[in-house]
């Protein structure tokens, strides 16, 4: 195709070392919110609260993968990905999330069928156990602010591992704990929609404990690879002023190090300046830092901040200077070299404690129509993915261990508070009919994967 970016031969050679995947998440693609004995989660509550989702969409039916998963598997097989990162809905398995609830066989059957279909198609399943969809019954008792949620998560993981552990060897535990703590509990723009600012931070500790708990359980069930999927961003000061540098250091602390340090070093960074005390009990830090086989890292864009002298937070996010932006506008700039720089920083910060990184999400949304009659030419997405993969290759060449790369997303889907207004898919989905139409980025990713295979 004219204008399609090419990789340099050295970059292509480097990319041969990666395993390739594409990702989705249960609430964003399944629909069928009231079927199969499924219970309610915090996103059901969020979408049913008028005004919370920008276009009032409810994720149901959305891509309707609950009924159309066979088509998704066919698309994955056509793409030639090594793996598929999907998520399991907690409330399809334990509908009320509570202690002592019998696991729901219909929910387990659904995921077992999906796993079997993937394996039959030669695609390795890599499910995520928690992608933001906490049972509503647990949010009512404090959600991730309550340490008891960790035990309930352990029971759910046990039920899933009992059913799937003989076939699934690769797992993600908790997706983007930073988004849940910062946007869900501190600021409230994601479910559960609380706005507790720094009081939200115990939710960090409990999610990390849930990760450690799940890791132990999954290992007992023979898992070969377990990891959280942590979202990170390179934080840039707006100017060289001391106040902007100080603001960048604070956001780097609470967005990046607050999650990576305990996972990789077994300790929190110094939080005294923020007046935060984590509810740490004996043995917690060992559990959280149970060695992971890989470090799952979601990366989309850098974040630029400006120091704020007085206010509830010591920083304010401002647009990053960039040649181009995604469908989200100036706060979601396209700066691929910041992925390379962030990966190199990870290696510098964590040295030999850093296991191979898997890029567990990377991708971009661009304005695209709801209905399409033929393939959509999404050259901007191709350029975004190409340039970020080039950044990954450069990081590998600079000595960062990187084992895999995952596109977000296989399908257009429900983009949380942004509803259907942001489309991330390699495959266009008509949200009225569920019809799937591969975009040109699908063909591009397929050809790239084919070209780096022996």
Query: Can you give the binding site for ligand IFM, defined by CB under 6 A?
Result: 25, 28, 176, 298, 361, 408, 415
Minimum distance from residue 383 beta carbon to ligand IFM (Å): 18
Residue 359: CB partners within 8 Å, gap ≥ 6?
297, 298, 299, 392, 402, 404, 405, 406
Minimum distance from residue 303 beta carbon to ligand IFM (Å): 14
Minimum distance from residue 259 beta carbon to ligand IFM (Å): 14
Q: CA angle 405-234-291, nearest 5°?
A: 55
**Has 415 been annotated as catalytic?**
no
C-alpha–C-alpha distance, residues 210 and 191, integer Å: 18
Q: Which is nearer to ligand IFM, 268 or 300 (CB)?
A: 300
Residue 310: CB partners within 8 Å, gap ≥ 6?
none
Active-site position among 361, 368, 380, 394? 361
Are the C-beta atoms of residues 54 and 417 closer than 8 Å to each other? yes
Q: Which is nearer to ligand IFM, 87 or 104 (CB)?
A: 87
Q: Which residue is nearest to ligand IFM (CB)?
A: 25
Alpha-carbon separation of residue 31 from 99, 109, 274 (angstroms): 26, 17, 40
Active-site position among 176, 238, 368, 390? 176
Residues present in the chain in total: 454
The phi and psi torsions of 304 (rounded to 5 degrees) equal -105, 135
**Has 390 been annotated as catalytic?**
no
Q: Which is nearer to ligand IFM, 190 or 247 (CB)?
A: 190
C-alpha–C-alpha distance, residues 226 and 160, integer Å: 14
Q: Which is nearer to ligand IFM, 25 or 53 (CB)?
A: 25
Q: Which is nearer to ligand IFM, 110 or 420 (CB)?
A: 420
Query: What per-residue string of b and e applies to 149-169 under the rule 16 or more CB within 10 Å gives b?
Result: bbebbbbbbbbbbebbbeebb
Cβ count near 2 (within 10 Å):
4
Cis before 451? omega within 30: no
Q: Which is nearer to ligand IFM, 292 or 298 (CB)?
A: 298
Which residues form the catalytic set?
A: 176, 361
């Amino acid at each position: 195709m004219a204008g399609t970016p090419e990789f340099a031969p050295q970059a292509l050679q480097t990319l041969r070392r990666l395993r390739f995947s594409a990702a989705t998440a249960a609430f964003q693609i399944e629909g069928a919110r009231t079927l199969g004995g499924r219970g309610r989660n915090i996103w059901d509550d969020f979408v049913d609260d008028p005004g919370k989702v920008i276009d009032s969409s409810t994720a149901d039916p959305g891509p309707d993968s609950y009924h159309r998963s066979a088509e998704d598997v066919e698309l994955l097989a056509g793409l030639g990905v090594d793996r598929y990162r999907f998520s399991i809905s907690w409330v399809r398995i334990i509908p009320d999330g509570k202690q002592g609830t019998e696991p729901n066989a219909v929910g387990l059957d659904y995921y077992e069928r999906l796993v079997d279909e993937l394996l039959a198609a030669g695609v390795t399943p890599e499910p995520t156990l928690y992608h933001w969809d906490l049972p509503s019954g647990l949010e009512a008792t404090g959600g991730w602010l309550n340490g008891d949620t960790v035990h309930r998560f352990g029971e759910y993981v046990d039920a899933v591992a009992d059913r799937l552990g003989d076939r699934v060897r690769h797992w993600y535990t908790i997706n983007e704990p930073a988004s849940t703590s910062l946007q869900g509990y501190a600021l409230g723009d994601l479910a559960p929609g609380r706005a507790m600012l720094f009081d939200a931070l115990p939710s960090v500790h409990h999610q990390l404990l849930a990760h450690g708990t799940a890791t132990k359980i999954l290992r007992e069930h023979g898992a070969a690879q377990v990891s959280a999927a942590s979202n990170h961003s390179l934080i840039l000061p707006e100017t060289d002023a001391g106040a902007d540098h100080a603001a960048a250091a604070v956001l780097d602390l609470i967005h990046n190090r607050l999650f990576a340090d305990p996972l990789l070093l077994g300790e929190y960074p110094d939080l005294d300046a923020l007046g935060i005390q984590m509810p740490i009990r004996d043995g917690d830090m060992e559990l959280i830092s149970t060695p992971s086989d890989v470090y799952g890292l979601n990366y989309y864009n850098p974040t630029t901040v400006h120091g704020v002298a007085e206010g509830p937070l010591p920083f304010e996010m401002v647009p990053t200077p960039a040649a181009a932006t995604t469908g989200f506008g100036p706060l979601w700039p396209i700066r691929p070299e910041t992925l390379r720089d962030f990966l190199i920083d990870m290696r510098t910060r964590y040295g030999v404690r850093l296991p191979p990184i898997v890029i567990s999400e990377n991708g971009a949304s661009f304005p695209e129509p709801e209905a399409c009659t033929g393939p959509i030419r999404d050259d901007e997405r191709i350029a975004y993915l190409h340039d970020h993969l080039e950044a990954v290759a450069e990081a590998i060449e600079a000595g960062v261990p990187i084992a895999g790369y995952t596109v977000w997303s296989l399908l257009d889907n429900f983009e949380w508070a942004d509803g259907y207004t942001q489309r991330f898919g390699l495959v266009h989905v008509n949200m009225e009919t569920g019809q799937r139409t591969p975009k040109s980025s699908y063909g591009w990713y397929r050809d790239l994967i084919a070209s780096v295979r022996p």
